[in-house]
Structure 1
Amino acid sequence: MKRFVAGCGAAVLTAFAIGLPVAAQAAPTPFMHRFALEFDGSAPYYVLAVPPAVYVASRRSDLGDVRVFNGAGEPVPYSLDAPVAHQAPTLRPVNWFPLPAAAANAPAATAGVSIAQDGTLRLTTAAANAGARDADLLDIGSAAQHVGALVIHVREDSYQGRVHVDASADLQSWRAVADASILEANHNGERLAQERIALDNLGQRERYLRLRWLGGGPQIASVDVELYPDEARPSDGARQWREGLVAHAGKTAGEYLFETGGAYPVDRLRIDVPQLNTVAQATVYSRPNGDVPWREIAHALLFRVAQHGEARNPPLEFAPDTDGQWRIVVDMRNGGLGNGTPSAAVGWQPARLTFVARGAGPFSLGVGNARVAGAAAPRDDILVGGEGGAGVKPAHLGAPLPVDENEARRAAGNADSTRRYVLWGALLLAVAVLAAMAWRLLRPQDTARS
């Protein structure tokens, strides 16, 4: 009899142990959001620069809950390449050539500059007087590294102005790549400077830059370029920004809080102070949610000053950070930011999603389930024969698709939690029943022995 009871118990427990994963696998993985995918032409592979809507819908900081489906609802192989980690740049000096106002938009040959066979620029006439020029021509070279920014060192103790930056590969066709403020101020031994011009959208072949100064150029002491390893260069998609994030005052003076609203891999943070002629030191923190302590991200000098125009502090740069909650703590010893609250903008390089167009369309993207495990494969494993030629074409996120209410509820966790409690309750009830049966079967035998 004991063997029979033990056998029954083992059979029931085994059935429940097998039944739990079977029940979990019975239905396809649910998602809270689904989007149509649109293509440019036909190809075996497609690549999508992950748009902000997917970051907002994702319930995982690594986008591990993203899946791609074909028209039959089957998941297809995909890879997901996150933005590269922030790396400290190296500085390299570059040559610059002052241009008089009349030659600012003229070809190099008529602006007192000659071009060698290797593309290097050389000055053929005397340099223009600093007070009579409003443009400079730069040759940043053809290095196999990514140029991330210009750093302009000004001779003057006091200068403030704005500059437009154009880029060209041949000195004939130009396109705008940046617009920035340059500031140099020294007072009682303290220095306030903004020398850096970010070049996030500079093309790989664009080695010539034209600086067009508004209101006259400064006396330049030297110019450096920030160089990053070529593998750190973003390969797909321009930098994305979320603007107009209004911070609200915290519990202590000088504390301001805001949320990004998505698991964006933020690596740029621009903080705009509310009042003109403000200068203040600040520290920036972040955290994923209110259950963990704040983590220090960066120190910043916040300013907004007016003198021959208006200059503002540049964006902060740091390693990609997917935290959703942010905190700015301003040093209040000099009055902080005064009245009003700052606003913020966050920027990031989008992740790159590459997938195989297996099966018939239409293809779709599902996202929004914190409990699913990431299923992305290395990109080299899914790209057979490399990514050159016409094998890989761009994809675009289309309109949101309807999601069944039950699927959305299961993806959010409610239905799965209920089912889990029911299954565990049934298991405990089965164990209790077996224990009662064993007790009843064994009790008469013990009484007979006594």
Structure 2
Amino acid sequence: MKRAFTLTGWCCAIVALCASAPVFAADHFAQRFALQLEEGAAYYSVTLPAAVYLASDRGDLGDVRVFNGAGEPVPYSLDAARELTRVPPTLHAVNWFPLPPAAAGSSSSSRLGVTIAADGSLHATAAPPARSQHDTELIDTGRASPKAGASGAPPSNEANALVVHLRDDNYQGRVTVEASDDLQHWKPAGDAQLLKLSYNGSTLSQDRIELDGTRARYLRLHWLDGVPYVDSMELEVQPVAADNVQRTGRIWNEGIVARAGPKPGEYFFVTGGPFPVERLRLNLPQPNTVAPAVVYSRAGLDAPWRQVASATLFRLHNGAVEQSNPELELMPDTDRQWRVVVDTRNGGLGAGTLTVAAGWRPATLTFVARGAAPFTLAVGSAAAVSSAVSRGDLLMGASSVAATARVGDALSAPPEADARSSGDADARRRYLLWAALVLAVGSLGMIARRLARGARVHAGDVGNSGAPDSPGRAGAAGTDAAGSAADIPNGHRDDKT
């Protein structure tokens, strides 16, 4: 009996589980993209565009898959940009040489007033020009950004930014930076607006010029709005992991509108996908605004807010020059919901709309071209679990370099395929329900049969044991009753006597 009840309980649990389980196909993804690649390579690497992030249901892109023409999944690795920069950046002091306007465009080191030593370092050969007679600085980054060695291996450091420490207490101006390895061929490396304002013991400064990973030995800094006094210059260097993954350039999601919250100085915005945001550019609505702010993020509505950055936001207008606060630097953050809290004691941001630009570096997906084309990339499944392997395990020491592939247009799934997939899932669930119900009914019938048989056996045992003894017992009972009735009157008579 105990086994029957246990079986019934399990059957009921199966029925409840099947009834409450969601209907989905194991291989159903919300979006699929065509992969465009050249024939003949064994491995391909593809940079994931914003459309893949927008379609993903997972913060770690665990629902990304690659399928061949037969619909079979192929092995792949997924290398996020944040995994390529594990070591924090460092600052290295650099040497710089003021150049007069005539020499700034020259390619000869003698006309620049410097000589190049055997190790590539620069040394001055003439007295520097007066501050009013120069508008360019020639910068030697030294060994902080070495060139490629004899083996052709790339250097292990990248220059993220040039930090210029100004002596002037009040300066605001634009600058541009060029980079070169031979002092002859120059290419643009960055631009910025430098700022230093001091008032009542407080200093507001912007001294950082983004270089975005240049590896050139020499830099050339042009002052566009007057030359200030410079105390020192430093190069922010980022050590790069020694792997074969190319560091992708930063992509910006522009024009994100932050809506005002229920509290004064509170603003909310969403990124729309699990983008690994590492830069935030907050565009203030009104010029001549200065306000401290704190930035928070969270993965979803049920998650608590966590602080990710704080800074003094400003937008200052000075004639033809307008200066804004620098970009906020973050650890790569895949949260979708963001909150900005501005100090309103001095008026906050005033009227207007706060807009945001989010900068991020896309992940690189490498896959094995197993099977026949066409290959497709699928994404968007909350039930999917990441099946990515490490890049080293995927390549298995292969000497061939992965060819470049590109994510093409989104593919529309045929309606009949979705209907067939959903119908198959419904049919499987119906079969499970019927099987569980049949087991439950069978077990209940077995319990009823055992109960009925036990009741019949018990009734037969009672009838057989009570029939022979009934008359004798009735007679004895009658005799005892009669005797008792006779004795009682006599007792009453004795009492009366």
What amino acid does structure 1 have at the position aligned with 2:91?
L
- Taking structure 1 as reference, are residues 27 and 262 closer, same or farther at Cα in structure 2, changes over 3 Å only? closer
Superposition pairs for residues 297-308 of structure 1, below 5 Å?
297-307=308-318
Give how far 1:229 is off.
2.2
- Taking structure 1 as reference, are residues 436 and 282 closer, same or farther at Cα in structure 2, changes over 3 Å only? same
Distance 2:87 2:418 in 1: 40
Q: 1:31 touches 1:408 (CA, 8 Å); kept in 2?
A: no
Give how far 1:434 is off.
3.1
Asked if residue 107 in structure 1 is aligned to residue 107 in structure 2, the reply is yes
TM-score (norm 2): 0.81
Secondary structure of the 1:303 match is strand
**Structure 2 unaligned blocks of 5 or more:** 145-155, 459-497
Distance 1:420 1:310 in 2: 65
Q: 1:44 touches 1:391 (CA, 8 Å); kept in 2?
A: no
1:173-217 Cα distance to aligned partner (Å, 9 max, x none): 211121111000001101000011122141x3x121111121222
Give how far 1:106 is off.
1.4
Q: Which residue of 2 aligns with 1:259?
A: 270
Secondary structure of the 2:373 match is coil
Q: Which residue of 2 aligns with 1:441?
A: 449
Distance 2:424 2:359 in 1: 36
Secondary structure of the 1:274 match is coil
Q: Which residue of 2 aligns with 1:77?
A: 75
- Taking structure 1 as reference, are residues 429 and 88 closer, same or farther at Cα in structure 2, changes over 3 Å only? same
Q: Which residue of 1 aligns with 2:367?
A: 355
Superposition pairs for residues 18-57 of structure 1, below 5 Å?
29-40=27-38, 42-57=40-55
Give how far 1:137 is off.
1.2
Q: Which residue of 1 aligns with 2:495?
A: none
Distance 2:185 2:335 in 1: 41
- Taking structure 1 as reference, are residues 148 and 395 closer, same or farther at Cα in structure 2, changes over 3 Å only? same
Q: 2:159 touches 2:213 (CA, 8 Å); kept in 1?
A: no
Secondary structure of the 1:59 match is coil
Distance 2:262 2:343 in 1: 15
- Taking structure 1 as reference, are residues 113 and 427 closer, same or farther at Cα in structure 2, changes over 3 Å only? farther
Q: 2:81 touches 2:248 (CA, 8 Å); kept in 1?
A: no
Q: Which residue of 1 aligns with 2:300?
A: 289
Asked if residue 221 in structure 1 is aligned to residue 231 in structure 2, the reply is yes
RMSD: 3.1
- Taking structure 1 as reference, are residues 424 and 317 closer, same or farther at Cα in structure 2, changes over 3 Å only? farther
Secondary structure of the 1:323 match is coil
Q: Which residue of 2 aligns with 1:98?
A: 98
Asked if residue 125 in structure 1 is aligned to residue 137 in structure 2, the reply is no
Secondary structure of the 2:135 match is strand
1:50-104 Cα distance to aligned partner (Å, 9 max, x none): 1111111111111111111112221111000112266532211111111112222
Give how far 1:291 is off.
1.7
Give how far 1:241 is off.
1.1
1:133-175 Cα distance to aligned partner (Å, 9 max, x none): 2211111124342222111100111100111111112222211
Q: What count of residue pairs does the alignment treat as equivalent?
A: 436
Q: Which residue of 2 aligns with 1:429?
A: 437
Q: 1:154 touches 1:184 (CA, 8 Å); kept in 2?
A: yes
Higher mean C-alpha deviation, range 232-241 or range 291-300:
232-241
- Taking structure 1 as reference, are residues 395 and 188 closer, same or farther at Cα in structure 2, changes over 3 Å only? same
Give how far 1:263 is off.
0.8
Secondary structure of the 1:448 match is helix
What amino acid does structure 2 have at the position aligned with 1:432?
A
Percent identity, aligned pairs only? Answer: 47
Superposition pairs for residues 300-379 of structure 1, below 5 Å?
300-307=311-318, 309-379=321-391
Q: 1:64 touches 1:374 (CA, 8 Å); kept in 2?
A: yes
- Taking structure 1 as reference, are residues 178 and 427 closer, same or farther at Cα in structure 2, changes over 3 Å only? farther
Give how far 1:410 is off.
10
Give how far 1:114 is off.
1.6
- Taking structure 1 as reference, are residues 325 and 45 closer, same or farther at Cα in structure 2, changes over 3 Å only? same
1:231-268 Cα distance to aligned partner (Å, 9 max, x none): 29983321111111011101000001111111101111
Higher Rg of the two aligned structures: 2
Distance 1:132 1:355 in 2: 57
What amino acid does structure 2 have at the position aligned with 1:253?
P
Q: 2:4 touches 2:443 (CA, 8 Å); kept in 1?
A: no
- Taking structure 1 as reference, are residues 328 and 28 closer, same or farther at Cα in structure 2, changes over 3 Å only? closer
- Taking structure 1 as reference, are residues 418 and 328 closer, same or farther at Cα in structure 2, changes over 3 Å only? farther
- Taking structure 1 as reference, are residues 29 and 336 closer, same or farther at Cα in structure 2, changes over 3 Å only? same
Distance 1:336 1:49 in 2: 40
TM-score (norm 1): 0.88
1:362-384 Cα distance to aligned partner (Å, 9 max, x none): 21111111111101011111113
Q: Quick check: which one's helix share is greater?
A: 2
Asked if residue 139 in structure 1 is aligned to residue 146 in structure 2, the reply is no
Secondary structure of the 2:106 match is coil
Secondary structure of the 1:247 match is strand
Secondary structure of the 1:117 match is coil
